[in-house]
Structure 1
């Protein structure tokens, strides 16, 4: 389960990344901070007592929490959210607990799930397509940002957050391409061919006032080609993304 906060911040509890959907600026939360924010966002603006949060964030995971540590992590979350342009997201209710500010919208985003296939049946899965406006602009794209190895590495770092960059290219004179990670020239050429193939398969086009967001992660097993995502996004004023068509493949085999 991922979230869009106030229409501008994407939060993925799996890797703890808080990302501004327009600028691409990102903050990497620690495991505990991410778990705390996940619990608060799931509450749907309902009051969460200190006892509930201490149990669900610390006790249930084999750790010992305290009011002091809870206050510290609430402070970390507030600073992180404010650094990405959102203040007053988490409200303290004196002598009671915490809640999301009712004025702040929180949209739940369920990641696409491909059917689990047997090793002897490596058929290519069909894409999952959605068109949900800005609230799902980059929703699945960012789920593929960090590979499993990178996610484990970053999650156990002592720093409160980490940042990542976006990488740009062009498919044609009118259509720009945004890659979620840096890739070498040979890999980028292969990615461009893959992009063109996906567009042809789905009768998609990318022209004026549009951009493509692309990411592909190799599998850690010999039975899967990994995951591929392509989003055809429409841009509006100030080059901001307004809506996207998302194509997600599990086990896509490029030619």
Structure 2
């Protein structure tokens, strides 16, 4: 979910970011959960016990007043970055009230950098799979090429004039090469190799 706080700060719940046109502040997971709980109870008191349950206990974490106080402080500090001071009221020994206009916004209107983060995070498994598959294909092709290159038995058999004759001993027997150069075609080729190029 995404919200516009007091018409000036964009809060993205998924990315845990507070953003305006000039800066972005990323919240910790606990601080983001705390802000979500305060937004849900906006302009009404939410007890310390309820916050401890929603932010920590429901997620299998140990809740404490110190954690709550520290994250309230972190949230207030983040709000100060955007001139949203005095938005969180402390009700001594009872709880807190968020005094802020929280308007749900369409994700399409979010900051371009946040859109890219969201696309990347939603397709993270696709990217990892693509990279892994590409690596495997390249490794397979590389192994095939190296094996093929190592299995090649091409070597220089002899020189005929200015030409060099190469053969693969796995394919052609050397006596067949000599027989070829005794044929009419072989003699023509040999004659061409003995002529100087101009």
**What band does the TM-score fall into relative to the shorter chain?**
0.5 to 0.7
Contact 2:15 2:118 in 1 (8 A): no
Larger Cα-atom Rg: 2
User: For the residues of structure 2 that align with 1:16 and 1:62, how far apart are their CA atoms?
Assistant: 20
User: For the residues of structure 2 that align with 1:148 and 1:62, how far apart are their CA atoms?
Assistant: 29
Superposed, which structure 2 residues align to 1:199-238 within 5 Å? 220-221=125-126
1:139 partnered with 2:137: no
2:46 pairs with 36, 48, 66, which one? 48
User: For the residues of structure 2 that align with 1:2 and 1:142, how far apart are their CA atoms?
Assistant: 15
TM-score (norm 1): 0.45
> How much has 1:85 moved relative to structure 2?
1.8
Identify the residue that residue 35 of structure 1 maps to in structure 2.
33
Q: Following superposition, which runs of at least 4 residues in structure 1 exceed 3 angstroms of deviation? A: 138-143, 217-222
**How many residues were matched structurally?**
127
Q: RMSD value over aligned CA atoms?
A: 2.4
Which structure shows the higher helix fraction? 2
Q: Which runs of 5+ in 1 are unaligned?
A: 113-137, 152-216, 223-255
Distance change >3 Å, CA 46–CA 110, structure 1 → 2: farther
TM-score (norm 2): 0.57
Residue-by-residue CA offset, 1:209-241 (whole Å, 9 max, x unaligned) = xxxxxxxx977549xxxxxxxxxxxxxxxxxxx
> How much has 1:141 moved relative to structure 2?
4.5
Superposed, which structure 2 residues align to 1:1-255 within 5 Å? 1-20=1-20, 22-23=21-22, 25-101=23-99, 104-109=100-105, 111=107, 138-139=109-110, 141=112, 143-147=114-118, 220-221=125-126
- The structure with higher relative contact order (CA 8 Å, sep 6+) is 1
User: For the residues of structure 2 that align with 1:220 and 1:51, how far apart are their CA atoms?
Assistant: 38
Q: Which runs of 5+ in 2 are unaligned?
A: 128-198
